[in-house]
Structure formats: structure tokens, C-alpha cells
Structure 1
């Protein structure tokens, strides 16, 4: 099977739309990645550079509170921290609405899907306070602009990002023999979290060709990598473990500690054949099937190696390989894909989402997503969301999808389309006789729309 516009919009895009036509070719889809990111400008999400101002202000209030314990100034600072946290929490739900609006109205849906894919691959989130709300700004700054770069550049952009450093506790990792450790105090231990996830999740993959010694040596090389609320990323030479470190048989550093040695190791890991295999399989699984065609995986891997990890060329293989289109049982849509593709099929207006307050965004989007199995920007671990269909095909998850499909669309778009027409809008050639029948037989419009969205044909990609 070759390129099909409707399948392209569903499998590699954000779903069919009544107002945005499907792509004409794979090359047309790739061309949208090079075009200006107009939908991001139309539905802005705060960058991490701007979000950093929230962190700086939080730090200033904390310092006032500590310096003036038991005084009115400390009480006022404590109140300011509470207000700051509340504003950041509310902003997080605004950004959720913007993510949805981007998917509904974009004419470059592949960009949205790839951004989400890489954001999950490089999962990072804050643990408490203001930084807990930093995931969307992190994605906006470290991932979205980098999805057409080389993988090594995307790797450096994410792994050395302040949020990743915070999430994997790298800011508390100090070389055991570093000048900082020799001074004593609480910061004197090596933390291997970032090194382990970098090898296991971000590059070589589970079962990759590395040992515990590689993990420790990489962790020692990473000492010095930390963050500062005032500036974001920071490399502290006095925290770095002295001497050279050997990772996968190659030596790094040995002179004065410098972040360039860390970046050199990251580039080598990004170019490793095991990384090519890991990324190739993960792309194939995410976009096609839990059991992808081995020919497709091999072709993705080969192109990754041939181009030095040039991601646009890897995507080209994904979109043009025949096996990407010949999928007997395509993936079940994860919760966010299901909700966003439903809203795209309904062409829900931007103001319908932008005017929702935090309570309504929780009620209509965040809480239903959680019942479907996806807690927004609160991952269970650094491995992100599960890819297996069985993770989403649970009784509770399916019941939540049906309930959302019947109840929420009429709230976000009171003037629902005729279900008999909506079948063609949402499913195109995938609409089965059974779906046509239930859409026409439904007693109300919202029941008809809900049944179309809950149908097996709409649930799969």
C-alpha cells in the first residue's frame, strides 16, 4: 500500500478535519516541518526562558522568608509563594488548552505528533512548587524547535535542560573526589539517575551494550552539570569528578573539567548503532503497531546511521515505506490522541477552550484523561507513557472514553453536526456500515456523535 491522504492524517497527523484538508503527499507533510510554526504563534505556550522568571521570583521569596523567620515579611513572602504556585498551576491548564487548539487547527499535524513523541521520549517534569508546572515550557523550548535537527542536537537540548537536570536529581550529584565534595556538607555523593536513563531510555535502549561500569563512569562525567534558578543550566567545575572517564570504551575529559566533554559523550551515544536501532523501533511502534514490520524498523535504522541521525530523513522513511501503510491492526489512540482528534473532527473553536477556567479544564479534559489512563504532565516515571495497546484497553479506560464522547463534545461545541454527516468527517473511508447505522439511529445528536467517537474505527490510528 502507498500513501493515502486520510490514513496519513489519522496515523501520522492529528485526525481528519472538516476545515483542514488532509496532506497530498509525504513530501507535503515533510515540507510543513520546514514552514514557519504559525500555530505555535497563534496558540502560544510559555517558553522555559520566560518560565525561568517564575523560578527566580520563587527563589527571591524563599530567601526573604528564610532571612526573616517569624516576621511579617516572612509571612508576606510565604503568601507570595502560595499565589505564585497558584498562578503557575492555572497557567498549566491554559497551556493544555493551547496544546489542544494547536492540534485542532494546525495544517502541520505531523509537527504536533512528533513534538509529543519526543516529549514523551525525553520525559521530564518538576517535582514540587513552581517547577512542577515547567513541562510545557520545557517542551516548547528544548524539543519543539529541534524535531527536524540531528538526534544528537535534540539529545543535548533535552538532557542538559534544567528541567531534566532537576527531574533526574542531577543537581545533587557531586564527584566524590571533587573540590566541592572535599569541603564536606550535604552535597558529596554521586547520583546515577541521569546517566542510567540516558543510556537505557534516551539512547542505547534497555538491554543495550553498556555495563554498570559505563553507568558509573558516565555519571562521574556528568558531575558538574547542574542548574541555577537565576540562569537555568549551569556547569560547576568544582563539582566535577577529576580525571578522565571511560564510557563504552572511549575516554572523555582528563584535563580541566568542561561541559564540552559531556557534549562529546552525548554526541557519541547519539551516533551509536544501538541508538539507531532503539529510536527506529520506537518510532515504528509509536506510529504504526505494537509489533511493527521488521523491514520498516531496519529501513529507519539504516537511514538514521546513513545520515548521522538527521531526523527529517528518518521521518521520510517512516512516511514512504510501504509497511508503514500496510498495518493489519494499527495502534489504539492513546487518551490525548483520542481527545484531540475528536475535537479536531468537531472543529472546536479556539475560544471554547481558551475561555475555560481551571475548574472546567479539569472537568472536561484533565480528569477524563486521567480516567482514561493519562495524568497530564505527571508521568509515572522517566520512561513516559506506555506504548502497548493493552495499557489503554482497560474497562475503566474504555468506559471513560465513551462517557467523555457522549458528554463533553456538546459542551465544547453546543451546535453539534448531524451525526450522519459527522461519520464521513471523522472517519472518511474508514466508516463501516455499522457506524453509519448507529449514527443514523441515535435518538439525539450528542448520542450519535458519541457513538461515532467511541466506535472501534475511530479508536484506532
Structure 2
């Protein structure tokens, strides 16, 4: 694998002052090191973020009851400002990091375990969920990542698990709260085994009953609620979990088993290969990843290594379209100007980042549902989406001062992947901004 491919296919792109990984082995070596980008550009964790969200809810009620609007408006404006700043911080991490694979995995796993920004405890808190549940576990065992995401208050609230009680539990017998199967269904269909795997409606219901203890307390923190737990053992995929006393260990046990199930290995390995390499990845690559998953009990670093080591990972053909956030991050990175956004006002961030991202089809922190954002090129290469990309390119390069020389920039942006037409356009452009725009809009830059 060339350094250019390592940086573009398995990272956030090339950069003028950051050396790309020499090969797949160096991609993994950087990933195994400390999380330098998060240390350099911190994002609040769940405790701080949910405290603001709950304070906002209280102030909104006070406004409605007493007419006190000023404190409510101040916090509303702060939450909205943090929404734009969190996008900027996310993009700046991608623009300045030496470890682009970490940022790409962060986006992949946040999408795999999608939660949508909304009201209540999910108001402007989703990046905090990503920071606490996703980012620390991306290089460990899949079982640990699965448990951290599934049991997080954001996920429990998103899929209504915090309002689920066993029909025969003390809480369920009192009425008003019934069994909710949303989380159990998504754990099986999306997070682990995948649609079409060997499970049925009975497994979904039994898992839903097993999960009934998972909840959220009044401070937005995780809580295990014995009074909500359906009594007795539950049978999921032919194995019995739980028993006479409600306990969290049974939930951990079923998630551990699902994490190493052969169907999970196949489903998640295929998703990884599809995201990083091709919309239709080579079956032999997926098979290699599955075998490593089986032998290592879902050690994610070893699974990533199997993907990077496969010959198809080094294919020179660019078969993936950059999603809008991936494209925007790569453009900020190669221009060398992304770090300056850390000081920008929220309205500037909205105009230059959040709104254009939405126009390209990817609303920040609002995927279309639990299944996350689509992978297929056709979902992103649309007339409206392409027009939005071109509009943003023109806006961004128009603000670069000084603007780099396109004849040099084409090598910085694309290296040996730049085709003759793109090189000619860089040479023949009427001015620097036009040349930069042609390079950033070239097919080679839109793909990875």
C-alpha cells in the first residue's frame, strides 16, 4: 500500500505538513498509540453535556410557567453554539491529526451505534455520547464497545429502553409502562448479528425482557432498575440468561456472546470492509476478517489488521465516495487552514460548516435513523449534493489567504493519484482560486 492510499483510504487525507503513514502497518502503529487529537482538541463528556441539557429543560419549564425568558435564552444560545463548535472540533481533529484512521473509526462506530440529536437528555449531547461510549473502546474488544454503546443513557433514551418494563415485573404490574422491543431489535439487527441472521421474533422478545433493567436516572446517568426487570430466565439464541434475581451480569453475558457470534463477525466485518474499501468488498477480505474475529474473540485491532493486510486494501482504484463530512475534513486538512476554525464565532461555523454539510445531505448528528448514514455512492453523488459540494468549495477556497499555487497543491492533495486531466486543470487555471477549486472538485478528490 502506498503512503497516499494509506492516508486517503484509511485516514482523513493528505496534508502539507503531516507525513502520511508509510503503509498499513504504520496506520495500525499510530492507531495503537495515544489519542493525541482528543487530548489536543477536547470535547465534553456525557456528565457535563447532559447537565446542560437537563438545565435547559428546567429553564424551559420555568419560562413557560413564570415567563422568565432570559436565562432560558442564554442557555439555548450556548447549546446551539456548542453544537456548531463540536462539528468544528470534530473536523479540526481530522484536519490536524497524524492518526487519521482513529477519526475515521470514530465516525464509523458512531454511525454503527447511531443515536440522533433531539430534545431532553439528547439535546446537543450526542458528541458527548461518542466521546464516552465510542472513542475509548474502538481499539479493544468489540464486546466492550458493544456494551458501552448499548448501555449508554443516550442509546437507552433514543430507543425508549428507559421506558421499558417487564410485564410481570413489579413496575409492569402497576401499569403505565410496558415492554419495549426497540433496543433488543436494533442490537440483533444492526449492532450484532445483522438482518437475515439466525434469530426470530421470540429471540427479540426474550432479549427485550432481559434488557428491562437498563434505564436512566433523573440526572441522565445510567441506572439499573431491579423493579423493571422481567422475572425469570430468558432464552436468546438457544441459551438461557438470568434467573431468580435481577442482575446486570446476565445482560453483560448475552452481549458478550452476541459479540463473538459468527453472524456478528460476518456482519460487522462486511460493514468495515464496505466502509473503508469498496461498496462491494472482496469476499476473501471479509473471510480473512471473520477468521481473525473468531480466533481473537473480536479483538478489533486484529480485525483492522486483517483488512489492511489484504491485497485489495491496496487497490489503486478509488471505489468509495467520500461522505460530506469526510470530504469536508479532507479539504480542510489539505488546505492547512482547518485549525483556524477553533477561534471562529458560532455563526461563522454555522455558515461555513454546519449549513453546507446539511446541504450536502449529511445533517450534523442527525442520521436518518438507527441504521445510520448510507454507504452507497448513489446516496451521495446526486445533483443537489454535488451542487452543494461545489458551492462550498468555491466559498472555502475564496477565503484562503494566501492561496497555494495549484501546480503544487495538486501533489499535496492527491499525490500519485492525480490523473492527467486534473494535473492539466491545475496547470491551466486562470487564477489560484479557480485552480484549487478544480482540484478539490476533481473525481480523485471526491473518492477514496
Q: TM-score, normalised by structure 2?
A: 0.96
Q: How does 1:224-373 map to 2 (within 5 A)?
A: 224-230=213-219, 232-326=221-315, 328-351=317-340, 353-373=341-361
Give the match's secondary structure for 1:246.
strand
Taking the aligned partners of 1:458 and 1:133, their CA distance within structure 2 comes to 31
Q: How does 1:13-412 map to 2 (within 5 A)?
A: 13-58=11-56, 61=59, 65=62, 70=65, 74-76=66-68, 79-129=70-120, 131-184=122-175, 186=176, 188-230=177-219, 232-326=221-315, 328-351=317-340, 353-411=341-399
- Asked whether the 8 Å contact 1:174–1:223 carries over to 2, the reply is yes
Taking the aligned partners of 1:297 and 1:312, their CA distance within structure 2 comes to 15
Taking the aligned partners of 1:434 and 1:291, their CA distance within structure 2 comes to 27
Taking the aligned partners of 1:229 and 1:448, their CA distance within structure 2 comes to 55
Taking the aligned partners of 2:250 and 2:338, their CA distance within structure 1 comes to 49
User: What is the deviation of 1:168?
Assistant: 0.7
User: What is the deviation of 1:327?
Assistant: 5.8
Taking the aligned partners of 1:195 and 1:153, their CA distance within structure 2 comes to 17
Taking the aligned partners of 2:317 and 2:422, their CA distance within structure 1 comes to 20
- Asked whether the 8 Å contact 2:161–2:183 carries over to 1, the reply is yes
Q: Select between 20-29 and 416-425 the one with higher mean Cα deviation.
A: 20-29
Q: TM-score, normalised by structure 1?
A: 0.94
Taking the aligned partners of 2:316 and 2:158, their CA distance within structure 1 comes to 37
Taking the aligned partners of 2:404 and 2:349, their CA distance within structure 1 comes to 23
Q: Which runs of 5+ in 2 are unaligned?
A: none
Counterpart residue number, 1:422: 409
Of 388, 395, 418, which aligns to 1:431?
A: 418
Taking the aligned partners of 1:173 and 1:183, their CA distance within structure 2 comes to 13
Taking the aligned partners of 1:28 and 1:93, their CA distance within structure 2 comes to 33
- Asked whether the 8 Å contact 2:168–2:230 carries over to 1, the reply is yes
- Asked whether the 8 Å contact 2:318–2:444 carries over to 1, the reply is no
Kindly tell me: are residues 327 and 298 of structure 1, through their superposed partners in 2, closer, same or farther at Cα, counting changes over 3 Å? Answer: farther
User: What is the deviation of 1:266?
Assistant: 0.7
Give the match's secondary structure for 1:226.
strand
Taking the aligned partners of 1:410 and 1:106, their CA distance within structure 2 comes to 25
Deviations 1:377-435 (A, max 9, x none): 01110000100011011111111111211222332x32110111110110100111111
User: What is the deviation of 1:57?
Assistant: 2.9
Q: Select between 174-183 and 337-346 the one with higher mean Cα deviation.
A: 174-183
Give the match's secondary structure for 1:189.
coil
- Asked whether the 8 Å contact 1:85–1:130 carries over to 2, the reply is no
Of 428, 440, 444, which aligns to 1:453?
A: 440
Give the match's secondary structure for 2:48.
helix
Taking the aligned partners of 2:391 and 2:134, their CA distance within structure 1 comes to 33
Q: Which runs of 5+ in 1 are unaligned?
A: none
Give the match's secondary structure for 2:123.
helix
- Asked whether the 8 Å contact 2:134–2:145 carries over to 1, the reply is yes
Deviations 1:337-377 (A, max 9, x none): 111001111111522x1222222212111121112111110
Taking the aligned partners of 2:168 and 2:72, their CA distance within structure 1 comes to 37
Taking the aligned partners of 1:420 and 1:406, their CA distance within structure 2 comes to 18
User: What is the deviation of 1:329?
Assistant: 4.6
- Asked whether the 8 Å contact 1:12–1:110 carries over to 2, the reply is yes
Deviations 1:217-270 (A, max 9, x none): 111111121111425100100011111111111111112111111111111111
Taking the aligned partners of 2:146 and 2:55, their CA distance within structure 1 comes to 29
Q: Select between 307-316 and 221-230 the one with higher mean Cα deviation.
A: 221-230
Deviations 1:139-194 (A, max 9, x none): 1111111111100000000000000001111111111111012223x3x2111111
- Asked whether the 8 Å contact 1:45–1:137 carries over to 2, the reply is yes
- Asked whether the 8 Å contact 1:126–1:163 carries over to 2, the reply is no
The number of residues matched between the two structures is: 448
Give the match's secondary structure for 1:223.
helix
